[in-house]
Structure 1
Amino acid sequence: MKPWACVGAEILPGTQEYEWVSSVVAAVERRTGRTSRWNRQLFEEGSGFKGGKAVADGPLLLSRADVLDPVMRAYDTTAPLTPDQIVAARAAAYVVVHEAVHHLSDPGDDSAAEAVWHGSPEETALEEALADTETMRIETDVIRDIGMDRDVPRILDLHITGDGPYSAYNEGLDGVVHGLAELTDRDPDDIRSTIHQTPMPQRYNAMADLIIDKRLSDLAEHRTEFRAWLAAPLRSELGALAKYQDLDRPAVVTPQRAADLGAEHARRAVREVGKRLTSLRTQYDARADMRRFLGEHTGAGRSATGGGTAAGGGAASGTAAAVRGPASGAAAAAAAVASVLPFRRDRGQAVE
């Protein structure tokens, strides 16, 4: 998030720029069925950054040179627009839709337990991928909704793709979503919607919860431990994609190469989650089988010992055997979980 020092001149309601931006935000709300968290303040972006920024629960910051001016020029000119001017207007509209989608996200509380910090690589990877893929889905419809296709002829002749700054993030999220769909038997769009509607610091936990609910529901009392362990590879692999983001990636990493790397990281994340899930399920079930075996045999021994009461003193031995027998179900389950999960309780986090 760019600091407040980047805020430039305020753009007031009633101006052409403000009313156009407001119409875009309203169209995004209608198309998504969600309420924007924009505070209705609009500023020029003051640092020279090309594009815009949606400040969480705050204003929109938009570049004058790269966003606002191209749009206003497209509306106001009386001469036919050049191809470059149409491209600039379409790109500017894309930026505003993208930032408006960011304002649909709940910033949540990154000081809460198990939260991902605001601005961390892990959070940024998810948020930018969610915003960009949603923008690609609705941007053409938003342009039609606000009548920009009538006011700026040929603007829809262009095709905007995600093969740009966020290609690694987009492919990474897409791979993870489809991997989770296979693990949970849920529709990918449903999983994506669940992630998007979860407060930003808890999104990786929400993904882990989907797996727990489907595959470990009988062990849900250990959700905290399982969640941390299952979320760790997702956080690690998606967070690592920051180095392939447009402003930071090496020149040799093309948008297509970045997309391929995003898909590769997603495959690794899903593969590791699957291995951890199988390990948890297999080892816990094996220990549960052993507890049942021991319980059956201890019970049989207890019955035989109790039967010797007439021979003298057997009842006391039987009682003692019962006390020394298997622990209660809850205690045994907790012991089993602790034995299979590499969890450092002193630090309160799972080992990656």
Structure 2
Amino acid sequence: MNGMPERGEEILPGTWEYQWFASVVTKTEEFAGRPSHWNGRLYDQPGAIAGVIEADGSMTISREHVLDPARPGYTEGHSLTHDERYAAGGATRMAVFRARASLSALGDDTGPGASPIGSLEDIALESALADRFTSTYGGRIAESLTEQDLPVDSFPAFPAYTTATDRLMSSLSRPTDLGPGELRDLLESTDRSQRFNVIADRVIETQLGDRVPESHRDQLRQDLTGSLRRGLSGLTMTEWSQLTHQGSKLNWGHDAAELTAIEFDLNLEDIKAHYDSWNTKHPGVEPPELPDSLRETFLDREEGMRQVWAERGWPAQQPVAGREQENYDGLRTQIYPNEREQEIAKLQQFLWSHTAPSQHTDSAAGAGERPNNVREIGSTRKGQRGVE
């Protein structure tokens, strides 16, 4: 959650480090069936971060955490120690994750309904997609590049995000009329800024067809994707927590997807009922937009879901509307009885910095800026079990 260090020295073509990472990117392209947006420029990434892809297409990769520990595992004839083997496997996983991230186009995030690059919803979905790809193909990519038997961990690096997204791929299969794999492929090939919109468009086309006037679509996209955006972005505090056990994060991801799917399905049924009823009573006549009473129903449903989350012990994602600034100012002065409460307060302040109205005026990935879509290495796995 801290600001990322500036990139280090350039890693030049012809060096072992450059050639190895380029080979990881090439293999990632082959397994994904899509080209990378990497422009070929590679730099060292200082600090406890594996690497990032910049808005201009250049990439950074950590010598300390990725390149140096990976090298023994890809050196022909080298006899690996136990520690070297596991270090090389972990480094490979991080390299594949970064290579997979380079396959995602950012897209224009200034249009109606677009997800701002670097927003909580964008980070959650992109992290989950890259994480699942890495878990599936990381080991196979390692096998294709070395004869060494490297243990590439398949457990999700982002268990809450990835579990929720996996489950949503299944629950959204019916309204999109796509299998989970087909829907995932659609999202993978769509610009990051338009992924939620493309889900809504697919649902509108499949479930409503030409009954919906084109002028209604922008609002319907918001009505349909609101629950999806909140469900995934609402996992931020859980995912970034250093005190929550990994298994508990899996459970939170599962529960978040379940609640999100319920809200999505109910909203969709109400929308369909509105257009079906009008079409039955007034065939051939353009229907009106959703009535205000139905939008109030959507808001009531959203509040109801927030209450369910609160009753399950999920830290509140947002304060009461209209009292945001007072709430977050107070977080800085309160005295917290234990480490868990202190962490929740810090995470809430972090969320406020990303969700406050004043933060929505500019894209998070504007010229010269770097999207905060990475987490410090080792920030989620602690030796102790932590808080459930």
| In structure 1, C-alpha distance between the alignment counterparts of 2:57 and 2:166, rounded to whole Å | 29
Does structure 1 retain, via aligned residues, the 8 Å contact 2:72–2:80? no
Verify: 1:100 aligned to 2:99, yes or no: yes
Q: Which residue of 1 aligns with 2:255?
A: 264
| In structure 2, C-alpha distance between the alignment counterparts of 1:45 and 1:62, rounded to whole Å | 5
Does structure 1 retain, via aligned residues, the 8 Å contact 2:279–2:285? no
Q: Which residue of 1 aligns with 2:264?
A: 273
Deviation at 1:338, TM superposition (A): 4.2
Q: Which residue of 2 aligns with 1:329?
A: 285
Verify: 1:207 aligned to 2:199, yes or no: yes
Q: Which residue of 1 aligns with 2:54?
A: 55
Residue-by-residue CA offset, 1:101-154 (whole Å, 9 max, x unaligned): 1011010011122111111110000000000101122222212322x1x1xx22
Q: Which residue of 1 aligns with 2:176?
A: 184
Describe the shift of the 1:145–1:159 C-alpha distance in structure 2 as closer, same or farther (beyond 3 A): closer
Q: Which residue of 2 aligns with 1:20?
A: 20
Verify: 1:154 aligned to 2:149, yes or no: yes
Which protein, 1 or 2, shows the higher relative CO under an 8 Å CA cutoff with sep ≥ 6? 2
Counterpart mapping for 1:193-204 below 5 A: 193-204=185-196
Does structure 2 retain, via aligned residues, the 8 Å contact 1:57–1:103? no
Describe the shift of the 1:130–1:43 C-alpha distance in structure 2 as closer, same or farther (beyond 3 A): same
| In structure 2, C-alpha distance between the alignment counterparts of 1:269 and 1:60, rounded to whole Å | 34
User: Which letter maps to 1:45?
Assistant: Q
Structure 2 residue corresponding to 1:233, chosen from 219, 227, 230: 227
Describe the shift of the 1:93–1:58 C-alpha distance in structure 2 as closer, same or farther (beyond 3 A): same
Name the structure where helix makes up a greater proportion of residues: 1
Does structure 2 retain, via aligned residues, the 8 Å contact 1:105–1:200? yes
Counterpart mapping for 1:243-258 below 5 A: 243-245=237-239, 248-251=240-243, 253-258=244-249
Does structure 2 retain, via aligned residues, the 8 Å contact 1:105–1:197? yes
Corresponding pairs, count: 297
Does structure 2 retain, via aligned residues, the 8 Å contact 1:132–1:162? no
Provide the secondary structure at the position in 2 that maps to 1:71: helix
Does structure 1 retain, via aligned residues, the 8 Å contact 2:53–2:59? yes
| In structure 2, C-alpha distance between the alignment counterparts of 1:187 and 1:141, rounded to whole Å | 24
Q: Unaligned 5+ residue runs, structure 1?
A: 293-327, 344-350
User: Which letter maps to 2:164?
Assistant: G
| In structure 1, C-alpha distance between the alignment counterparts of 2:245 and 2:4, rounded to whole Å | 32
Deviation at 1:68, TM superposition (A): 0.8
Does structure 2 retain, via aligned residues, the 8 Å contact 1:10–1:43? yes
Q: Which residue of 2 aligns with 1:70?
A: 69
User: Which letter maps to 1:235?
Assistant: R
TM-score if structure 2 supplies the norm length? Answer: 0.71
Instruction: Name which of structure 1's ranges 74-83 and 86-95 shifts more when overlaid on structure 2.
Output: 74-83
Q: Unaligned 5+ residue runs, structure 2?
A: 303-388
TM-score if structure 1 supplies the norm length? Answer: 0.78
Instruction: Name which of structure 1's ranges 207-216 and 268-277 shifts more when overlaid on structure 2.
Output: 207-216
Greater C-alpha radius of gyration: 1
Q: Which residue of 2 aligns with 1:128?
A: 127
Counterpart mapping for 1:289-328 below 5 A: 289-291=280-282
Calculate percent identity across the aligned residue pairs.
31
Residue-by-residue CA offset, 1:247-291 (whole Å, 9 max, x unaligned): x2141x211110110111111111111001111122332344444
| In structure 2, C-alpha distance between the alignment counterparts of 1:215 and 1:341, rounded to whole Å | 18
| In structure 2, C-alpha distance between the alignment counterparts of 1:340 and 1:284, rounded to whole Å | 15
| In structure 1, C-alpha distance between the alignment counterparts of 2:265 and 2:78, rounded to whole Å | 59
Greater than 4 Å deviation, 4+ residue runs: 1-5, 76-79, 338-341
Deviation at 1:4, TM superposition (A): 7.7
Describe the shift of the 1:167–1:154 C-alpha distance in structure 2 as closer, same or farther (beyond 3 A): same
Does structure 2 retain, via aligned residues, the 8 Å contact 1:122–1:235? yes
Does structure 2 retain, via aligned residues, the 8 Å contact 1:56–1:103? no
